[in-house]
Structure 1
């Protein structure tokens, strides 16, 4: 990709990210193009569908969260690593209003452009969970799918204006419930 095309693509992703943060994943493509000061055709040349745009935008974050999980696997105690990743994942997901609905649908739909990224993200969290379980600091009755659902649930709280003030407290309740007595100290 040419440097100017890459720069335009990055600009469109930055504008789309801000628009989705404000208005949610259903923001109009026309509005994103207007905010980016380009025509709709230009946006559609880079991202022919809403899903292609969301995939490009969300995949970057998923890749960062996957890399963060790998970093935590080697740098933190197992229980601390699991909770830190969960907090990072929920925080990032909350940034993009409505992303949890897309993630939950994409993980089940192998044809979705977001499927592979969601599967990779879930696997990264599952490795942290398995590591914490092997160390005896996390509940043994959970798996990666449960952890992915907890991310969606906690991020959904952040999407609800009336519940946002409770989100940090409820995160702490859930995080504590993930850990055994040995992992919560």
Structure 2
């Protein structure tokens, strides 16, 4: 029976702790700005980063000889917003200039006066005419290399082939010697 009494006391203690824990949060309500809740701190280097959870401002805080000091971190978002605003204004200015140029162009007189009624000639003055040659006279002549040119080419190919064979033999000797 003592086991039943101790387990019921344990259950009562757990229920009491849960109730007090829940009431503690309910009694606390909204936290004032001076307590934990508005700022989130994270360790960074030789100090901490402080995030203001209401405004989103970030500061770096460090302990100097005179005490703790916090400095605002430059906000890149503000710089980007400024640049976006500048580009939008520039874009609007260019649109206005473009419309002005279109209106100016439309108000001008046409550059070509009058319409040309007659068609342009079909012959192209830049094209050169083909030479008129009778069908029987067409011959294609390809100059063949002379015997001297053929001998020079053959000696070049022979030298290149010998060098290739020599390189292959050297590589084979090097591989056989190392293995």
Short-chain TM bin: under 0.3
TM-score of the two chains, using structure 1 as the length reference: 0.20
Pair member with larger Rg: 2
Q: Which has the higher strand share?
A: 2
Question: TM-score, normalising length from structure 2?
Answer: 0.20
* Greater helix proportion: 1
